[in-house]
Amino acid sequence: MKMEKIHILGIAGTFMGGIAQLAKAMGVEVTGSDKAIYPPMSTQLEQAGISVSLEDDIAFLTSHPDAVVIGNAKSRGDVAVEATLNILQPYTSGPQWLAEHILQDRWVIAVSGTHGKTTTASMVAWILEYVGLEPGFLIGGVPSNFGVSARLGKSPFFVVEADEYDTAFFDKRSKFVHYHPRTLVINNLEFDHADIFENLAAIQTQFHHCVRTVPNNGLIITPNDETNVDEVLAKGCWTPVETQGAQEADWSYELTQADGSAFNVLHQGKLIGEVSWSMTGLHNVRNALSALAAAHYAGVMLSCGVEALNQFSGVARRMSLVG
């Protein structure tokens, strides 16, 4: 069904605010509500022409939206949630709406892991943009090269930050199981989100659910030194895997500056070029290797990928110099 009007509960979050921007760009009439809203999302929503009301305001129901999109911060007992349920108003989750209305027929590049999702997804999107592919994206931060956290794009490629947190109060699966990526990056895997996961094994189960959705003509990109990720793949993997790491990996690096501000990139042991950028830290070197692997699988020449990273500006409010 074509959506003409939606209302988003919990619109102030980066993910749900991104959904709002994507829907607006599709020509959907979008409104939303939340208890508080701050920059950068308040600025982005204002620029997109999306009106936001207070959390308990249920007047939106009188306009009969095609769907209420409910953020995972909302739960039973919330005034707007209860009003939505009481009148049998159609509702869905953000990840489900994204999958049904944006991601179908797209080449989805999903970036997952405990750490580094936002930065790595931003790198992938920027590399694709640099070579003129104009990808769509939905990222849990604002990439400085773009200035927005979400856009539809004009190519088959769509980069999404793939979060393992649960989908909604009525759908306790991880968000990323909705995305059906063709390319899946798993940066790392540690115990996290103790409020919803009992232990590491529970998180690994959700990651394996995501692995199960990647086609065998796709690609999974992982570190070569993460036992927790290896255990996920050992449960069953039907997709080619490429690894990144310091050595003995498909994608590796040689530091030319100890702080990670410059490093050589090697693919299958062959020197590709040097990245010299404003970023620092070994974690970002590893993020860059994953991003290069994902972009290369999408058809980007390796030399162009390195050139793009040299112009990568990072993510707003992530290691930003403020004075």
7 token code pair: 């209302």
Q: Averaged over 83-112, what is the pLDDT?
A: 97
| Region 132-145 average pLDDT | 96
What's the pLDDT band for 320 if we cut at 50, 70, 90? low
Q: How far apart are CA 223 and CA 119, in angstroms?
A: 16
Confidence of residue 94 (pLDDT cuts 50, 70, 90): very high
pTM: 0.95
| pLDDT band (50, 70, 90) for residue 247 | confident
Domains and CATH numbers, the chain: 5-98 (3.40.50.720), 105-310 (3.40.1190.10)
Non-local CB neighbours of 255 within 8 Å, separated by 6+ positions: 262, 263, 282, 285
The pLDDT tens digits for 214-241 are 999 999 999 999 999 999 999 999 999 9
Residues 149, 321: contact at Cβ < 8 Å?
Answer: no
> Are the beta carbons of 306 and 292 closer than 8 angstroms?
yes
